[in-house]
Chain A
């Protein structure tokens, strides 16, 4: 008689958000990334509001994307009322290390 191994603790189909959330490495999807010209920024926040991944981090005087999750969709670049965000090819950053240097 074969032994059966059961790991799931529930009887039914429950998921538990008390465990670490599932997370995809969506930052690796990018082919372009937003680059902010801080001089033009008026801290209106529309880039952060329109960002579908809501990955913009409030830096106090401007917002910067969290590149772990920025998918490079380009909406922030398109919507910025001051035209302060440009979309730059990821190729320009291929030599940077994990800390963005």
Chain B
């Protein structure tokens, strides 16, 4: 049997070597680890990361005078990420130097405590890239609910018991909220579709010259959600295939899908793999299905009414 030995074209997106240390303090199978290394390789070694206390901080920040990676970075509190990125970007703009500032946070920062400065930076169209890795909760501090935690999910602050059954609220549609600021670029991406992710990172880097570029990456957490570490990528893929996490991009309020699933798989295929939904009854599933359906239809409607031509 002859096999054609052909490397995936995704490798062509890599501009530089992986600037991170070989051994990082992230859980086995963590999509965030893949995202960090992948982003750095695609965007290149001249970027400045802006990070905050989170799972990513354990590798973005140094420890005393030593570092986990070779890149310039700025660490700040969750309240200050988008505003700190603004300060750096603005000063370099004054100097006339084109630099790439990459604010890199979890959903807890971008959707909750850091939302105000992010929204402000988006409204002012500041020139930087903001990447959210959405693991649907505050993972580093112990799996607490955030405002992107899906309805019904079990977290340590929305437990399942006598008086309650998980998260009562459907959560914020964060990427759509950002797209509604009419920023030059807003997109969703995930770690199973690396070609799509790479394209979006490259586009974000180009679009940040016009204003804020926002990329929202679905990043399942094996430790926090309760699934085996080898399923991380498979869960990303299922999230796309069930329309739970559709892949789209928007430029100044005009939308298009970058991947459309002709026959979406049933949501149950995704839910049954994830421990934080293990308490789900049929009714719980219907509630989540409805939410997923509505979100998808919303994007579909936007793409139809204000299409972004490829």
Contact = CB atoms under 8 A, between A and B. Distances in A.
Interface of A: 8-10, 13-17, 19-27, 29, 42-46, 49-55, 61, 66, 68-69, 71-75, 77-79, 87
Interface in B58-75: 61-71, 75
B55 to A, nearest CB: 12
Given A17-B67, A87-B230, 15 more contacts: A9-B65, A15-B67, A16-B67, A20-B66, A22-B66, A22-B67, A22-B68, A23-B23, A26-B23, A43-B5, A45-B8, A50-B191, A52-B33, A66-B22, A78-B234
Residue of B20, B21, B26 with most partner-chain A CB within 10 A: B21
Contact of B65 (A19, A61, A68, A77): A19
Interface string B1-36: 001111110110000001011111110111101100
A10 B65 contact: yes
A99 B70 CA distance: 28
A19 B66 contact: yes
B7 A45 contact: yes
A68 B24 CA distance: 12
Contact of A78 (B34, B75, B191, B231): B231
B230 A78 contact: yes
Contacts of B64: 8, 15
Given A43-B5, A45-B8, A51 B34 contact: yes
B285 to A, nearest CB: 25
A71 B8 contact: no
B194 A49 contact: yes
B267 interface: no
B66 A15 contact: yes
A66 B23 CA distance: 11
B104 to A, nearest CB: 16
B232 to A, nearest CB: 6
B233 A50 contact: yes
Interface residues of B, number: 46
A21 B70 contact: yes
B62 A15 contact: yes
Residue of B23, B41, B66 with most partner-chain A CB within 10 A: B23
Contact of A17 (B18, B28, B70): B70
A44 B3 CA distance: 11
Nearest to A8: B65
Q: What are the 8 A-B residue pairs with the smallest beta carbon separation, nearest first?
A: A15-B62, A74-B230, A73-B29, A24-B23, A71-B28, A73-B28, A43-B5, A52-B33
A32 B157 CA distance: 33
Nearest to B73: A15
Contact of A49 (B11, B25, B69, B75): B11
B295 interface: no
Contact of A54 (B37, B66, B68, B70): B37
Nearest to A69: B22
A74 B29 contact: yes
Contacts of B23: 23-27, 53, 68-69
B33 A53 contact: yes
A89 to B, nearest CB: 14
